[in-house]
Amino acid sequence: MNLLNNAVKYNRRGGRVWLRCREIADRPDRSWFEFVCEDTGIGMSEAYQQHIFEPFSQESDGVKSKYDGTGLGLPITKRMIELMDGTIDFWSQKNVGTRFTVRLPLEIDIVSCHCDRAIHADETANLAGLRALLVEDNEMNMEIAEFLLKEQHMQVDRAWNGAQAVELFEQSETHAYDIVLMDIMMPVMDGLEAARRIRSLKQEDAKTVPIFAMSANTFIDDIAKSREAGMDEHFTKPLDIEVIREAIGRYCGRGRVF
């Protein structure tokens, strides 16, 4: 609302304002949306653009007297977006206009989706016997993830870094693993490189086995990097077993070609 208010406030007679929204990424527990607010207003000088997110910063005395304001709207807006794990950036040209782009991760109401899950219960309820390659360098995180998977009566093989995971997968029989759960930040070899190497192996299942990223980082760039490395999903730590169960139910038995 603050961005829209500014787009109208600092516009010109007969000017225009556009507001666009689109979904740019999705996964079982959240979706990323991009909001663009663009106007044909007075724009901002290059000098002022360096300070627009600083408290009490304003374009000039002339603008202040004409439009009034405290210079707090944009700093507060930016802080609110950051608290929601989102991002904000902009483009502006003096006497041409301004465009703000906001990207926000919106959590999916898992409770409200319970009925939808029940429809697919046959796909997600029984994970018994499935075998997972769990890749995690942190001992506590490994114990927690292994416990969650074994509660679903799954078999779990451990790997403590990406290099060990690639070695275990390469030495395994074809289709030995139903899924791979891969931490991103690890010593020796990180999860992104490990995923790329697994996808490049000559084994028949290397290009189809579901690989799920596990990371505390949930920014759109992090999700995009995991996708580019060949991963199917990007899970947030701490792990939500219901989200993982649903994903395993959707992916197991359904190959994907990269």
* Model pLDDT for residues 80-107, shown as the tens digit of each residue: 999 999 999 999 999 999 999 999 999 8
Same domain, 126 and 43: no
* Model pLDDT for residues 108-129, shown as the tens digit of each residue: 876 665 555 444 444 444 788 9
Domain count for the chain, please give it.
2
Domain harbouring 171, CATH code = 3.40.50.2300
* Distance separating alpha carbons of residues 194 and 182, to the nearest angstrom: 8
Give me the domain span that covers residue 189. 114-251
Please report the pLDDT score of residue 64 as a whole number: 45
In a domain, 167, yes or no: yes
* Model pLDDT for residues 27-39, shown as the tens digit of each residue: 777 889 999 999 9
In a domain, 258, yes or no: no
pTM for this entry: 0.53
CB 11 within 8 A of CB 41: yes
Domain boundary among 83, 107, 131: 107
Strand order through the sheet with 131-135: 155-159, 131-135, 179-183, 211-215, 233-236
